[in-house]
A and B are shown apart, each in its own frame.
Chain A
Amino acid sequence: MQSQTETKAGKVLSKNEKWELIKKRIKKNKLIYLMILPGLLYFFVYKYIPMYGLIISFQDYKPYQGIMGSQWVGLEHFKRLFADPDFWMIFKNTLVLFGLQLIIFFPVPIILSLMLNEVRSMPLKRSVQTLIYIPHFMSWVIIVSITYVLLTMDGGIVNGLLQQAGFQEVNFLLNPDWFRPMYILQVIWREAGWGTIIFLAAIAAVDAQLYEAAKIDGAGRFRQMWHITLPAIKGVIVILLILKIGDVLELGFEHVYLLLNSSNREVAEIFDTYVYTAGLKQGQFSYSTAVGFFKGLVGLVLVVIANWLAKKAGEEGVY
């Protein structure tokens, strides 16, 4: 509370006095500032210094000429990206997969942790929790391979069963319509369990008295969940949601690249895979960087919008 009044007072202070105030505050809390130093240093060294490399997206970068020696080409690489006939397709695919992650995947861990919270037998709850964490530690290569073995038309189990049950065989792997369901189901299978950790922690922190009071008022299990548990963890949900939106960049290159093939490219090509085939494979460093840069900007814009919306709705937001 105190710090807030100080800040407000700061508005009428002159620049010099403000600086004095900041110095005084740092002195007072020097231990706390010392504690954030490693974190700040980390972000500076690993996130800010590399940004220097963005320069090459405005150059015709030749490795042997270095960043200082390479020729400047202005926005040439960005023009090439926007002029690429596949640009809108890739843009759309990236956003659609992102939307699927947000709308279909994101609620799953919440529902799962609410359900786990209702399990009364401790040993059962623990073992279920452990079991649903396990897929998180499997690499995408394994998950995609398992899917392939199950779904292939050349002797896959699923198609075998379909055939025996008298249905038509389905070409899951090559049909573009099946790419998105396959993608999101794999994400849910691998990550849903892992995602429950934070929500379960938040649920554990809810005051038990609230439940007791609700029970006395005659609220059943479902009412308790709806009126106590969910509102209590709403803040956590919103923050995680905004952070997730920042991850629009991280759809998982490895995952999508493994699923990608010639017949589903129209729905499966995203920026990450495009950077790989159009840029890195051909040694086009500047162009790859330009595409990555653009993708980063899209992510930034989305986060800013989401944060603004969250604040509008009366939530905390991340900054």
Chain B
Amino acid sequence: MKMKRTAVAFCLIGLVSEACSNNNESASNEEGNEGGGGSGTIEIMSNLHTPEVPEPFIEEKVEEQTGADLSINWVPDNNYNDRLNTAFSTGTLPDVVYVNFNHFNQFKDAIRDDQFWEVGPYLDEYENLSKLKDNVLDNSRVDGKLYTIYQGRPLSRQGLIYRKDWAEQLGLDGPPETTEEFFEYAKAFTEQDPDQDGQDDTIGLTDREDLVYGAFKTVSSWFGTPNDWGVQDGEIRPEFMFPEYVDTMKFFRRLHENGYINQDFPVTSKSDQQDMFKNGTAGLYVGSMGDVGTLYNDAENINPDVEYDVHNRVKGPDGEYGIWSIPGFGSLQLFPKSAVETEQELRKILDFFDKLMTRETANLISWGIKGEHYTVEDGKAVMTEDSQKFDREVKPYQSLEIGEPATNGSYQLKAEYAPKAKSEELNIDNEDFLIEDPTLTLDSETDLQKGTRLQQGINDATYNFILGELDEEGFEQAVQTWRNNGGDQIIKEYTEAYQELQ
């Protein structure tokens, strides 16, 4: 009995330490060296946007064309940031790290500490890398120096996808041009039985548990809210201190009160949100307009008569257009000194990426093999009809892309489905009225430390306001709490950094 008790006691003490055991692995830099260094293999860690790791067919082709030996570590996009943090904390970063644009700030400390190669001075030596857009590169500079290359993405793909057949059925004329018209659409889609089945089984807008990539942020830019941070009286202030943000909340509250939006949207997943749109429950979807293609593929199987359309220009109460933008890149590539030990190795890697930016190789990773995965029509790529084959063999490699069609010469997509083709045009149209985040290249230590947690308080208050659990005064209090617990410090730090640049 005594022995047993001792064992149990050991066990209990053990529990205490368990919570911390994840973080303690030795963090010496040496660990990352194996494999990456002298062997000639280029190790890459990148996001995987498909359920399965791709077949290595394309990878072999890329190796053939570039003469490089690759080893790609695919990490599911869902927990990419977590995995990256772990690799970083255990000193096991590979030669090339793809960092999501909204995760980049966490690496600035280490960048300043000289843990990554500065690539700015080298880029001009390479024929293709030198073509990378300066205005996009500028968004990723740290203290004026360049440590990354980028994977280009359209500045804003946000907009509205809606049921055109429903709108026509109800005699609604054209797409909603203003936020008030948008509201009328949601109302009509809910109350006037757009599917003509005699049942009260439809709603207007379908949304999900995401204030950024769901509907909220896009609608808030229609109202003219700044993109995360705005400038007022020479001071950088968070979006939720602007009256437009509160107006957007009120707008959503009205939608929610009247049942024009799914009632459980703060806990609805993306797939459930999209299902409601596909199966004819909801008629409005706000998000990335390009999604209309995949949405239609599925919706067509449920109801062959479904008709979608996309739309981007929606005026706010002030009569102006606006749409939030990303910095022009989806991810950035960092080169850790722990893995890339010599300048020679760095040049070898940059040489690989330079070749990856040639028209031939860029098309290979974007579209696959000509004739097998795509054909060319009017100078644009048409994807094979076997979309599963494409997803399995090609799609994952798209996340390796460096630059964008304009710089790497790859084909633009020629979409067979008209609304999809239109969405590509509207992405470009969006560039006429972008709302940019003024803090992109600014730093705030407090934001890095406490930002996420503080933002959560605001997100909670936003949801609760929309649900009617909180009044305007309550929201004001949440903002005050934000300010008192570090927000004021963040404002101060950003403002100082901002004024320095002016």
Residues of A participating in the B interface, judged by any CB pair closer than 8 Å: 3, 32, 36, 39-40, 43, 46-48, 50-54, 56-57, 61-67, 84-85, 148, 152-155, 171, 173-174, 243, 246-247, 249-250, 261-263, 265, 275, 277-278, 280-285, 288-289, 292-293, 295-297, 299-300, 303, 316-319
Contacts and interface: CB of A to CB of B under 8 A. Distances in A.
Contacts of B266: 174, 261-263
Contacts of A54: 17, 20, 24
Interface stretch (B140-148, B238-246, B341-349, B462-470): B462-470
B469 A263 contact: yes
B490 to A, nearest CB: 13
Given A85-B481, A293-B20, A48 B110 contact: no
B213 interface: no
B124 interface: no
B66 interface: no
Contact of B89 (A40, A275, A285, A300): A285
B154 interface: no
Interface of B: 1-3, 5-21, 23-29, 81-82, 85, 88-91, 106, 109-110, 113, 115, 203, 209, 262-264, 266-268, 276, 281, 338, 448-453, 456, 459-460, 462-464, 467, 469, 481, 485
A318 B14 contact: no
A285 B19 CA distance: 12
Contacts of A284: 449
A84 B7 CA distance: 37
Nearest to B455: A277
A299 B16 contact: yes
A154 B276 contact: yes
Contact of B267 (A63, A66, A174, A303): A174
Interface of B, secondary structure class, is helix
B12 A246 contact: yes
A67 B481 contact: no
Contacts of B209: 261-262
Given A249-B19, A282-B448, A153 B12 contact: no
A53 B460 contact: no
Contacts of B469: 263
Nearest to A285: B23
B147 to A, nearest CB: 15
A64 B264 CA distance: 43
Contacts of A57: 20
Contacts of A293: 19-20
26 contacts: A46-B21, A47-B17, A50-B24, A52-B24, A63-B88, A63-B91, A64-B27, A64-B110, A153-B264, A154-B268, A155-B281, A174-B267, A261-B267, A263-B460, A263-B467, A277-B452, A278-B452, A280-B82, A282-B451, A283-B88, A283-B106, A292-B20, A293-B19, A296-B17, A318-B9, A319-B12
Nearest to B336: A64
Contact of B20 (A50, A155, A250, A318): A50
Contacts of A261: 209, 266-267, 463
Nearest to B211: A262
B269 to A, nearest CB: 9
B117 to A, nearest CB: 14
Nearest to B1: A316
A85 B91 contact: no
Contact of B21 (A53, A61, A316): A53
A164 B311 CA distance: 39
Nearest to B459: A262
A296 B16 contact: yes
Contacts of A283: 85, 88-89, 106
A174 B467 contact: yes
Contacts of A263: 266, 460, 463-464, 467, 469
A154 B263 contact: yes
Q: Which residue of A65, A243, A262, A277 has the most chain B CB atoms within 10 A of its CB atom? A: A262
Given A62-B110, A66-B28, A263-B469, A53 B267 contact: no
Nearest to A43: B10
B262 A281 contact: no
A292 B113 contact: no
Nearest to A50: B21
B381 to A, nearest CB: 37
Contact of B27 (A63, A148, A154, A300): A63
B12 A296 contact: no
A148 B9 CA distance: 40
Nearest to B91: A63
A243 B12 CA distance: 8
Nearest to B268: A154
A52 B26 CA distance: 10
B12 A300 contact: yes
B443 to A, nearest CB: 14
B28 A39 contact: no
B485 A64 contact: no
Nearest to B107: A283
B193 to A, nearest CB: 17
